[in-house]
Amino acid sequence: MFGVYKEKYYFTPASLIIRDKSNVERIPWADVRGCSSQHGESKTFSDLTLPDGRIIRVRVGDMATGWSGRISQLFHQMIERYGQHAAMGRPLMAVQDFFAKATDDYSIAPNLEPHPSLDSFRTALLPLEQSNDGTRVFMNVCDDADDMPVADSIVIVTPRPRDDFRRFAESFGADGIVAGDEKTIRRVGGIPDGFKVWHILWD
């Protein structure tokens, strides 16, 4: 046993055990396929996705300050290390879903100045998915207060080379196009053979 938090959460090497009144739920770390939070995000809840599709909500907000911050760190580290290649943090948002909700020019790359209009982003991004090669575009949402998404980067899953997206990146003042790291790839999910993951970033 690594520790007990508030007599409710029990951390063992193999499982997280949640005791709620007379109910006890054991969640093997290896069964966690997705975690909607990351340590240091200051989120109130974290949703854990299990192999059968069930989602279990854990109140991580209580774990994020003072000494208890170490509990939050332990919680997320155990999932990242032992989960089934668990995706950590907010899920990526499909580009169509993003533009269905976003209404402000600063919904993409909020720190960029001078700032392009939201319509210009829409006009440039949506056609990328309309090619016949299976390219998919996702928005990396960093904030969604009041159901208004704000994305600070773009993730593209595609068979196409990096240079095919360089004109877009340069036109919209991006700081670079990098290969998706392991954490990004986990959030994408399955990647078809021959496809790559490119991450377009703004500082």
Q: What is the pLDDT of residue 76?
A: 87
> Which pLDDT value is given to residue 90?
79
Identify the burial level of 105 via C-beta atoms within 10 angstroms of its C-beta, where 0-12 means exposed, 13-18 middle and 19 or more buried.
middle
Residue 39: the pLDDT is: 80
Numbered ranges of CATH 2.30.29.30 in the chain: 3-88
Tens digits of residue pLDDT in 31-65: 888 888 888 777 888 898 888 888 888 888 877 66
Quick one: pLDDT at residue 77?
Answer: 86
Q: Which regions of the chain are under pLDDT 70? A: 1, 64-68, 84-85, 146
Domain 3-88 sits in CATH 1.20.1250.20: no
Is residue 98 within 8 Å of 188, Cβ to Cβ?
A: no
Q: pTM, whole model, 2 decimals?
A: 0.67
pLDDT of residue 174: 94
Phi/psi region, residue 141 (left: phi>0; alpha: psi -120 to 50; beta: rest), is beta
Instruction: For the beta carbon of residue 82, count every other beta carbon within 10 angstroms.
Output: 16
DSSP-derived 3-state class of residue 194: coil
pLDDT of res. 50: 86
**What region does 151 belong to: left with phi over 0, alpha with psi -120 to 50, or beta?**
beta
